[in-house]
Structure 1
């Protein structure tokens, strides 16, 4: 009888210890509910489904199922992968299409144009892409932290967090490069560095897509073709603007839209002092438009 009671006690302790993490407390449930009330989540239409550990998750199920303590953990994990795939699509659009073609043009142009293209590329990465990567990484980690066992803490290689960190680190590598128009080899060195980083980023993105993401089929041209055609129409109107300057404006507008729709309208907030992303408490007001204006001025 005593042995039987001990067995029952052990089973009970096992159940408490190993299932406690399957439940979110009220604070976390309320925080996730408040986050999902933000309008931006319903506008994320690029993902057909995501997969994690062999299981498929469909966006409408993740977003429309009522959040409670029992499903909060699973929803948090699924939404984190869903958000990661959304960001993967953005990075794929930029690196496999635009950045790759800019690098090609940097190499193929004559010295003066090659210099101008390279300088613009450095500005695009430093001023636009790196800050965007910082916001993306922060959003993924902030959402993942709702889970009782955040994978971005337990496993630093979770999804695209390491990739986003690598993109952030490109800025440090660029700062170490001293370019001079009197020494063209400095331009060649920086192009080689950016080309290698871009190539590695594209490889990682392809692996991530295969592992996690199934995108909605899309018949539209990639960004480079779309913007090239737009530029041809632009110069036909006798508007004089270098193609790379035109591209810089298009990339800036594209990234501003991404930050607005895929970050602030999803309910994330950015602290420009600590450069950290956080999710407001359920009682905090969320004004995506105001947050976007203030933060993008900082960026």
Structure 2
């Protein structure tokens, strides 16, 4: 009986803590949140129909048109986190769709047998573009964390609970399987293997994203129509004599998506980036309450036209991973065998993702990879 009472007591404490939002945040935080939520960038959060939180549905205008006070500040912090996270989810959905179709195009080029160089160049661009999303993922997670840090019970401190986009943004930054593909060999089997690994990476990230969208009701985005528009635009450019490979066209489109998301939903929201710690901070209003912040020695990088935070992050990643130099492999014919051994050693247990629905798929991908490469040796690799 005592054990049951203790369990009930702990459950009550747990329930009270998680329903304690809006219980008297500080006046300083109220002013900061008012200032932050007045930034014009919030007008760009127009791709979210409503959010779902504690079995209630909240529309943007129903939430942000209300005054913020000490007793409801925590609620506004949570709403802001979820609305922005859902908007990020919509952008990631478009990016994953584009990259997956990019991968299909590279696979088509490889299977057509017309030009190994085109398939190679397509795969290299796809690999680089997939890795290029990492800086944006870091900024997205850091931005959401910076909002939550003003909550009395921030989600960032509750490690046993996954909050919005936490899973997909965390695993997007774990690009080890992709980094190991660099530099890529100009060989049909190696290119095929790289495309399979990129496909696996993207599909698993997309599944994580779907699980992370439980709080979101997004406005309808017709991805198929968008893809048709891109194809029509590409055809129009060809008729105008502006010809380029389709994968370069896709590369430009995805770069534009990434840059637009960064500008509208990071820069225009006033987020401040610390290049020393890779942390994001909310903008602080220049009023008396912020007097204590004047003498801070933190190297805060304001987003201006001459500072590209994503480029800063990318260069930091390059310094940590100097092998991310997408150049052709010279004469190292053992790379495919080494890649196979590393892949098998690292992923045979498939313990990175513990969702049952994904295990069978990952196992099939692994078996397909092993079957394709178990017979490859250095003598069978032909260099171009």
Kept in 1: contact 2:45–2:83 (CA 8 A): no
Mapped partners of 1:292, 1:142: distance in 2:
24
Q: Which has the higher helix share?
A: 1
State whether residues 22 and 72 of structure 2, in contact with CA within 8 Å, keep that contact through their aligned partners in structure 1. Answer: no
Describe the shift of the 1:116–1:294 C-alpha distance in structure 2 as closer, same or farther (beyond 3 A): closer
1:69-88 paired onto structure 2 within 5 Å: 69-88=70-89
Distance 1:92 1:20 in 2: 30
Give the counterpart of 2:309 among 283, 290, 295. 295
Whichever of the two has the greater Rg, that structure is: 2
Q: In the aligned structure 1, how far is the partner of 2:63 from the partner of 2:22?
A: 19
TM-fit CA distance, 1:113: 2.0
Partners of 1:270 and 1:277 within 8 A in 2: yes
Is the contact between residue 139 and residue 277 of structure 1 (CA under 8 Å) also seen in structure 2? Answer: yes
**Mapping of residues 35-184 of structure 1, within 5 Å:** 35-95=36-96, 97-110=97-110, 111-127=116-132, 129-155=133-159, 157-170=162-175, 172-184=176-188
User: Is 2:200 aligned against 1:196?
Assistant: yes
Deviates more, 1:279-288 or 1:255-264: 279-288
Q: Distance in 2 between matches of 1:118 and 1:44?
A: 33
Residue-by-residue CA offset, 1:93-149 (whole Å, 9 max, x unaligned): 111x2111111112121332221111001111122x111111111111111111111
State how far apart, in whole Å, the 2-side matches of 1:123 and 1:63 are. Answer: 39
Is the CA contact (8 Å cut-off) linking 1:50 and 1:212 kept in structure 2?
yes
TM-score by length of 1: 0.85
Contiguous gaps of at least 5 residues in structure 2: 1-12, 111-115, 295-299, 315-384
- CA shift, 1:66, in A, is 1.1
The 4+ residue runs of structure 1 with deviation greater than 4 A are 17-21, 218-222, 284-289
Matched with 2:258 is: 255
Report whether the alignment pairs 1:206 with 2:207: no
Shift of 1:226: 2.5
Q: CA offsets per residue over residues 196-246 of structure 1, 9 Å max, x none?
A: 12111222222333x211122356755432222211111110112111111
The secondary structure found in structure 2 opposite 1:109 is helix
Give the paired residue count.
280
CA distance in 2, matches of 1:198, 1:222: 21
Q: Over the residues paired in the alignment, what is the CA RMSD in angstroms?
A: 2.6
Q: SS of the residue aligned with 1:266?
A: coil
| Inter-partner Cα distance in structure 2 for 1:268 and 1:225 | 35
Q: Which gives a bigger RCO, structure 1 or 2 (Cα 8 Å, sep 6+)?
A: 1
CA distance in 1, matches of 2:225, 2:150: 35
